[in-house]
Each structure stands twice: as C-alpha cells, then as structure tokens.
Structure 1
Amino acid sequence: MSEEKLMSKKKPAYPVNDKLDAYLEHYNRKIEIPIFYEDLLRFSGSVVVYDANDEDTLWVRAYYPEFERKEIDDSLKRVYSILHSDGSSNISQYLNVDAVDYCTFGNSKPFRIRIRNILNDNFTYFYVKKTDASRIYGLELEHMLSPYNLNFLVYKDTLIEEHIAGIPGDVFIKEMLPSCTESEKAQLAKEFVKFNERCMIRLLGDMRSYNYVIVPVHDFDHVVYRIRAIDFDQQCYEGRLNVYRPQFFKENFEMVELVRKKLLRDSVDQYKLEERSIVAKRILSSGNRIKRLRSIAKKDTISTTANMKMLRDQILDLTLDIKFKKCKSMGEVLDSALNFVRRNYQGVSMKQIIEQKIKI
C-alpha cells in the first residue's frame, strides 16, 4: 500500500472541549503562560538551519525586531521556569534564549526553543505548538501507558512540550545501525517489536523513523537501546489500522528487516505478549486518571466519522470482539481497544495464549 493511500493528506487540529480543559486543570497541565504560539509567528526574518553535514533540517531560525526581542526572551525564560521549576523569575538571570527555530515541515509547525544556562553552558529545548485535542490525548496516553513520563503545559491555544532527548530514528538507522554489534541489533529488533505493539494498542499513528528517537542506555558492560515516540499529532485520527503499526512505513524498513533476521516467530510473539501485559497493568495502575480521560475522549470529536468506522471495522476483524461494533466515536474505539487489552492480557501467559487461542 502506498504511503499516500495509507494516510490522509492533512489532519485538522481539534479544539479542547470544556471537560478536557477541566481535566488538564485538575492534573496541573493547564497553567497560565506569558506568551502564545501566535506571538512567536511575528518574526521579521529567518535563515535555514543546516545539520553537521550541511543538509537542510527543514527548520528555520527566526529573528524578531529588536524592540520585541527582549520581551519575547523574558517570556520564554518564564515558560522554561514554569515547565521545569517553580515558575518564578529567580532563575531568569542565569538563562539565555540561544535560538527560536520554526519547523516548516508537517502539521504542527512547532517552534523549538533552545535555553542555555550561562553559568555552565548546559542547554535544553522545549517546544511551543498550537493546541490540538488529539495531540493532548496522545501526550497523556504516552505519560500513562508507556515507560516514560511526559511534561507539558496547555493554556488556551498554546501547547508547551518538553524536549525528548534521543537520536532521531532516521539518523540512527542511516548512520549508526550499520556499526551496531549483532547482539545490539537483536536487542533493537526486540525493542521495535515492543514499540510497534505499544503504538497499535493505544492508537498512536504515523511513527515513521523521524517521529521517534533511539535512546542508548549504558547498562554495566553493554548498551541497551530504547525507542520513544516524539510526535503525538496522529493520536486516534486515521482510519487505517496499519497507520498505527510502525512496521508498515517504508522509513522503518531496516528495523523490520532486523526483526525478520534476528528474531524467531516465537520470540516475536513473546515480546508482543510482554508488551500487551505490561500495558494492561499500566491501565490498571493509572486508576481514575485514565478512566476520566477515556470517558472524556468517548464524547469528544477527534476524527471523522468515516475514519472511525473504518478503524472500528478493521479492529473488529482483527480481534473478533463484538464490543467494537457498538462504537460511535473514535474515543469509544480507543476505549474498547484498551478494554480489550486489559481483559485479555492482564497476567496472561504464553501457555494460556496457546490453550485459549487468544489472538496475538
């Protein structure tokens, strides 16, 4: 299937409804900030940002009129303090806004802010984006159902996201994967199977190689690789189930080949089972928080009716779970998918999979 047919041309941004807004406020995600996405669009000029190989990164460095720059810098420092500290201006004197970059590629068109500590030259990034309800659901689900916590803020039409550190997947595949040892490649194959499964379970789409990062973790005498999503724009939107399975994107071909070469079918099934079981446990441990989010999503509009019906029917064909037939919104499809995993894979073993013929 061609990529053009796999995904829609452009996904619209969906507004945050009153119930989701109240949810964000309850869990300290909604905090007043001194600058908005629209304010950063008033740059007066820009230059292309190139990488170390002099290739266009699809980011441009924005420049602002002198009379606006100080106010913008002070506001961005304050945002950094709200995101990472107590929100006071005490640390502002030690911070410098090194760059404001604007991405010209993709739906969200984010701003990337580079903040440097002038005392020791340590720096970090955060992102300023337009608020989109489906992206917020994606961030919250990642926070609760993945191994990683996420820090983000929402205020009116502006979304602030912390930077997720790691090696961009496309860069890793091109420049680092060929030099990995055979054992490292096998471990990467395992992680890709788990990542693929996690995305499908919670309906996170469009995980092409540039939408996730590879994180190397040094463990005693070897390196363990983890895979983390960094783009949550395509949460619960597309109609085709394969959009939620990273294995079907051509950009991930090398990773799929790793799985084929390094893992036996039984091992793939084992890792898929492990991931489904741990997601089931995370659903339970998230308690009222995820219940409340799912309840809000069920009544929200975060996709088209056509996409919802297509995805509902394809998941029904895959799981044979009649409960999907009753879904009337994309939030209900998500809710049914999480319920299916919780019911069938909490504490399940491979022996039970074989004896009960549970689909894996």
Structure 2
Amino acid sequence: MEEKLMSKKKPSFPVNERFNRYLAKYNRNTRIPVFYDDLLRFSGSIVVYDQHDEDTFWVRCYYPDHERIEIDNSLKKVYTILHSDGSDDSLEWLNVDAIDYCTFGNSKPFRIKVRNILNDSFTYFYVKKADASRLYGLEFEHLLSPHRINFLVYKDTLIEAHIAGIPGDVFIEDHLPECDLRAQTQIAKQFVKFNERCTVRLLGDMRSYNYVVIPTHDFDHVEYQIRAIDFDQQCYEGKLKVYQPQFFKENYKMVKLVSEKLEESSIEQYRKEERSLLAKRMINTKSRYKELIRCMINDHVSTKENVKELRTDLYAFSKDMKFKRASTMGQILRTALDFVKRNYENVNMQRMLE
C-alpha cells in the first residue's frame, strides 16, 4: 500500500530566511556547540537489538578517544540548553551513555542517551538535519495539537526532545490484545481523533511506528492518548490518503478496532470534537499561527505535481473552490484549516442566535 501512496524518497528542504526569523522570535533558533555532520564522523558501530533479539535499525556509534570527549561535552551542553537554562552547573553530573544512529527512513537521526549520575535517571534527545517541512510539522504540532513540542534549530542542525510512549507497532502487537473492552473502546476513540487531527492539518505518513500510544493511570483505570513522533511528512505528498492514518496497512488492527467498537454516530461525534478543539487552538494562538502559516505560504516544501494532486483531491473531498486556487502547500493547509475554523464559528454563531 505504501509504495502506491508514498514517494520513494522525500527530499530535504532548506529553512529560508523568513522562517528562520520566525523560529528566532519564538526561541527555537539558538546557538549549539555540535552539528549533525560532527556526529557522522564515528569510526565504528554495532547493531542495537531489542529485547526479542530483533534488529531495531539503530546502530551504536563509537568515536576515536580524542574526539569522544569533545563530542560528549558538546552533547551534554546541548542537553542543558534543551531542558534547562544552558548553564554549565550540572554538566559534571551528566553522562552520555550512548550515541545511536538510525539506518532506516529519510532523516537518519542520531539518538542521544543522557544519564544523571546522581540518581541514575536518563532521557533521550535526537540530532537531525534541519528540514523545513519537518520544522513546520513540529511547529504546527505545538500550536494545534493537545501536546507541546520541545526542539531547537541552529543552521542545518535540529535538536528534538524525546517523546515518551509505547511505539504504535509495539503497542498494537504486544499490548492491544491484553486490553479490556473499556480500554479498547477508548483506544478506538483516540485513533479516530488522531486520524482526524492528522488529516485536517495534513501531517502524513502516520504508520504505526511513527506515533506512540501513551497510557496514563487515572484512579481505577488507564486512559490512552495517541501522539505523533515523526513530522517529516508535513504537507509534502500529493495523495490525500497519505494524511489519513486509516489507510496504512500497519494501522489495520486499529481501524478494525474502530469498526468493531464504535457506532458511526460516535465516530462522527469524535471527529467533530477534534475539529472543534483544533479550531479553538487556532483562535487561541491566532497571532503566532498567522505568522507561521504566512511563512509556509511563501515557502516551497513540496513539488508542483504534489501541490496540484493534493488540491484536486481536497476539492473533490470538500467542494471548496479555494483549494483550486492554491499554488503552494501553505495555501492548501491554510484553506483546510480555515474550512474547519469557519464551520466552528458558524456553529457557535447559530447557537448564540437561538
């Protein structure tokens, strides 16, 4: 299914000056002491296996001794900039336990494991190439989803905080079969809302390994959320189905769960809820959202062919003539989001007049 839906390889798009100014204004753009290319100078690596002795597509990197000390110090500094005030006070209590390199996918990220030696707690962050479409995806996620995103950009390097949760493919295989009826119904609801959120804001390629399921214990039961972790496919592909997680075979069991546990009326209710929440977030972040969408309207993060195909698909889906006049992915996304916001405002107006 994916070969028909997705391009074989998405190119990386540079961050233009206007978008850079936006990132600097909102404290995303800051000087960091290490670049993505610096980490590529590893001298050897070994495969990282999971608990079932299966290849994870990550390799653990090793560096010459004279370089490892400098790289470790730089990465610890990056950690303090990302999670604190960037001061050197806590550097002596931090240790870089591992530098892993992903051999799978477009972005080829590095995953850095940093441990606090005082209490043995640890966390991860990622070092990636700064791709404009990914940065737009991160910013729109921060503004329009229920979740906040922590990342930094400096020149051609992106530092991205780890998003904790159970990888979707692992959850579907190992945890979903153990869930009781109540939990399954709630997970089905969350998948409907997640599917709607991705579709409306045109975040593509949400195959099961590109999102996490987050269980939260609440009194006598567990609540679940589904959260995207990969934003590489923000407004790039031309096919509308790429932006609808329900059409990827990796999500088949989730889709089946929705059809088994939810009535059509409930599905429509949850879709409406998610669109309303998205519209509220647009209104609440009005100034920043407008700056961001203007950046994207004046940027190029896809091909002319993909723009033409997506606007045709969206016109066929919505019958909104504004899609036909869109010439960039930014204009298409604005039209899609304005469509949702306009409907929300119309419903509110009708309610006030009753």
Q: Considering the TM-score relative to the shorter chain, is it more than 0.5?
A: yes
Structure 2 counterpart of 1:40: 39
Structure 1 counterpart of 2:343: 344
List runs of 5+ in structure 2 lacking aligned partners.
none
Question: 1:9-55 CA deviation, whole Å, 9 max, x = no partner?
Answer: 00000000000000000000000000000000000000000001111
Provide the rounded CA distance (Å) in 1 between the counterparts of 2:128 and 2:346: 39
Structure 2 counterpart of 1:193: 192
Provide the rounded CA distance (Å) in 2 between the counterparts of 1:240 and 1:348: 30
Provide the rounded CA distance (Å) in 1 between the counterparts of 2:337 and 2:12: 24
For residue 204 of structure 1, what is the amino acid of its counterpart? L
For residue 152 of structure 1, what is the amino acid of its counterpart? F
Provide the rounded CA distance (Å) in 1 between the counterparts of 2:32 and 2:270: 42
Aligned length: 350
Question: Is this contact kept in 2: 1:277–1:347, CA < 8 A?
Answer: no
Deviation at 1:89, TM superposition (A): 1.1
Query: Residue 348 of structure 1: SS of its match in structure 2?
Result: helix
Question: 1:318-345 CA deviation, whole Å, 9 max, x = no partner?
Answer: 1111111110111110111111111012
Tell me the percent identity.
Answer: 65
Structure 1 counterpart of 2:87: 88
Structure 1 counterpart of 2:57: 58
Structure 2 counterpart of 1:177: 176
Structure 2 counterpart of 1:252: 251
For residue 19 of structure 1, what is the amino acid of its counterpart? R
Question: Could you state the TM-score of these two structures normalised by the residue count of structure 2?
Answer: 0.98
Deviation at 1:347, TM superposition (A): 7.2
Tell me which stretches of 4 or more aligned residues in structure 1 moved more than 3 Å: 346-349
List aligned pairs for 1:144-183, cutoff 5 A: 144-183=143-182
Query: Residue 302 of structure 2: SS of its match in structure 1?
Result: coil
After superposition, the Cα gap between the structure-2 partners of 1:300 and 1:215, relative to the gap in structure 1 and judged at 3 Å, is same
Provide the rounded CA distance (Å) in 2 between the counterparts of 1:43 and 1:214: 33
Structure 2 counterpart of 1:100: 99
Provide the rounded CA distance (Å) in 2 between the counterparts of 1:277 and 1:93: 47
Provide the rounded CA distance (Å) in 1 between the counterparts of 2:316 and 2:171: 35
Query: 1:69 and 2:82 equivalent?
Result: no
List runs of 5+ in structure 1 lacking aligned partners.
353-360
For residue 289 of structure 2, what is the amino acid of its counterpart? I
Provide the rounded CA distance (Å) in 2 between the counterparts of 1:8 and 1:35: 31
Query: 1:25 and 2:35 equivalent?
Result: no
Structure 1 counterpart of 2:130: 131
Question: 1:132-152 CA deviation, whole Å, 9 max, x = no partner?
Answer: 000000000000000000000
Provide the rounded CA distance (Å) in 2 between the counterparts of 1:64 and 1:221: 48
Question: Is this contact kept in 2: 1:238–1:311, CA < 8 A?
Answer: yes
Question: 1:271-315 CA deviation, whole Å, 9 max, x = no partner?
Answer: 000000110010110111010000010010000000001000111
After superposition, the Cα gap between the structure-2 partners of 1:121 and 1:347, relative to the gap in structure 1 and judged at 3 Å, is farther
Provide the rounded CA distance (Å) in 2 between the counterparts of 1:122 and 1:346: 46
Deviation at 1:220, TM superposition (A): 1.4
For residue 221 of structure 1, what is the amino acid of its counterpart? D
Provide the rounded CA distance (Å) in 2 between the counterparts of 1:168 and 1:347: 38
Structure 2 counterpart of 1:112: 111
Question: Could you state the TM-score of these two structures normalised by the residue count of structure 1?
Answer: 0.96
Provide the rounded CA distance (Å) in 1 between the counterparts of 2:262 and 2:345: 24
Q: CA RMSD in A?
A: 1.1
Question: Is this contact kept in 2: 1:281–1:346, CA < 8 A?
Answer: no
